[in-house]
Each structure stands twice: as structure tokens, then as C-alpha cells.
Amino acid sequence: MVESVAGQNHTTVTEFILIGFTDHPKLGVILFLVFLSFYLITLLGNMGMVLLICLDSRLHTPMYFFLSHLSLLDACYSSVIIPQILVTLVIGRMSVSYNSCATQFFFFTVCAGTECFLLAVMAYDRYVAISSPLLYSSAMTPGTHWGLVAGAYSGGLSGAILRTVCTFTLSFCGPNQINFFFCDLPPLLELSCSDSPISQILILFYGSFVIFVNALVILVSYLFIIRAILHVKSVGGRAKTFSTCASHLTAVMLFFGTLTFMYMRSDSNKSLEEDKVVSVFYTVIIPMLNPLIYTLRNKEVKAAFRKVISKLQVSQEM
């Protein structure tokens, strides 16, 4: 919907129409079931991870503390996006008010930005653990890891405020159809009719800055980690030491790889259809995969899970 602005030659958008994935009813049903399954698995996996870390005292370490916040973020991340995908698949094209679009954009940006900072914090944690194992306990005190997590959330929140304000102070004169399944930056910029490029430059610069700075912190941390691993004399010791980083490194490559492809390509190489596929990957697939990535080769998490299951079995038998 668009409204005329008195005394001006243009109209102002008051709501957006999300086109979603498909208008084909049968394909919509199949996609609905697929995304619903993904969402349930994501919630079960991530909230199960948070609960497991809370219940098992052996997992009350900085590494698992950061992992619990990553799992919480992934659950929130998916909850901002997937329910709306499900609605659009049921009813077809969906209208959202201007304020609702801004709200979704804000919370999505908070989650994405905070996850960038948190993955960098986790890389720094692994660097301290491997480079200075004897000093790790004194370096990573409760105050330190709470401060690092608070810093990650503050970075994500401040970035979301800046990007949301800059994005939604742009002029949207119509058309108001978003060829996407949620209110994301690229399709919104496509609809903007603002003459001033300052806000757009600020939005894109800050997004690139967040990705670059956190990727740099991760890269430097892993360079020091590799140097420390090379000083380990036995091949088995090197493999065991690096295995503690393998899950995190996998999560980093998946997350930053898709973000870079989505937001740092040149405009000439962009396609909204490609962006839809990439967005599904980092808003739906990666949050679902992260619990698996962190548990498949993690003996401590497997042991904690078996302990909880055995306690449940005993309680049922009593």
C-alpha cells in the first residue's frame, strides 16, 4: 500500500508485499513441510544444547558458555525468519506493515551481527586455550567471558540500530513488492527511491566493516593457533589439539562464507533469486547444522547427552 504525501510529487509506502518462494500450491505445501521440519530440528537441537550445557557441570567452561550463547542466537535467528516463511507458503504473498518490516529487519540484524562478534570471541577463546593452557583459567575468568559475550551483544545491537535507522529513513515511493521471503537489506535497497546515497553507503560500509573486522580477528587467532600447534612434538598431539577447533572453524567458514557472498558482492553480480538461496542457507540451514557440527566429534557433549538420557531412563523406571 502507498499513500500520497501532501504537497509532494511522490507517494510513501506504508506496507510491503513479500512475494516469498512460489505461488504454486503443491510446491508450497512441500516447502512448508520442509521448512517446518527444519525449524523444529533447529529449535530442538539448539535449545537442547543450551539445556545440556546448563545441566552438566562438566560443560561449565568458557568454551561451552560461548557455545550456549551461539545456540541461543541460532534459535532466535530462525524464529525471526522461519515462521514468516511458513505463513507466506500457506497464504501466498503476504503483506507486512512498514513498522513490522523494520522490526523484523532489526531483530534479524541483531542476531546476525552478534553471531559475527561471538564467533570472533570463540576464536580468541580457542587461541588462549591452546597458546597458554596453563594460564587459561586465570585469563578466562567468569568476569572475562561474561564481558566478551556482553561485548558481542553490544556490537550486534549497536550495529542493528544504526543499520535499521539508516535503512528505514530511506524513501520508499513504490512499488512495494519485495521479491524475497523476509525484510532483508538487498531487496529493500532495490525498492528505495532516495536521492541521497549517504545512508546507503553507511549501511554497506558498516556491514562490510563488521564482517571484515571479525574475520580478521578469527584469521589472526587461527594463525597463532596454527603456530602453537606446530610446536607440539607428536603428530597425535597436534591432531588432538586442532580437533578442539575443527567444529568452530567449520561454523566460521559456513557463516562468513555465505555472509560475504550475500552482502559483499558487486551489484553487477547480484541476483535476487541467488540471494534467496543463499539467505535460506544462512538463516535456516546453518542454524540447524550448528548443533550437529559441535556434537558429532565432541566427546564431552556426547558423554553429557548420554548422562542425561540415562538419568531420564532411571527416573522413568522408578
Regarding the domain with residue range 14-317, which homologous superfamily does it belong to in the CATH classification?
A: Rhodopsin 7-helix transmembrane proteins (1.20.1070.10)
Q: Are 263 and 185 contacting, i.e. CB atoms less than 8 angstroms apart?
A: yes
Residue ranges of the alpha helices (H) in 264-298?
A: 272-280, 286-295
Complete edge-to-edge strand list for the sheet that includes strand 15-18: 94-97, 15-18, 177-178
Angle 77-40-253 from CA coordinates, rounded to 5°: 45
Residues with Cβ within 8 Å of residue 191, at least 6 apart in sequence: 13, 16, 172, 175, 176, 178
pTM: 0.88
Ranges of the chain with pLDDT below 50: 2, 4-10
Q: What does the pLDDT read at residue 266?
A: 60
Cell representation of residue 261: 557472498
Q: What does the pLDDT read at residue 314?
A: 64
Number of H helices, E strands in the chain: 11, 5
Q: What does the pLDDT read at residue 5?
A: 46
61: helix, coil or strand?
coil
130-172 confidence digits (pLDDT tens): 888 888 888 899 999 999 999 999 999 999 999 999 888 888 8
State the average pLDDT for the chain: 83
Q: What does the pLDDT read at residue 229?
A: 84
Q: What does the pLDDT read at residue 7?
A: 43
Q: What does the pLDDT read at residue 1?
A: 53
Q: What does the pLDDT read at residue 6?
A: 44
188-227 confidence digits (pLDDT tens): 888 888 776 777 777 778 888 888 999 999 999 999 988 8
In which element (H, E) is residue 97 found? strand 94-97
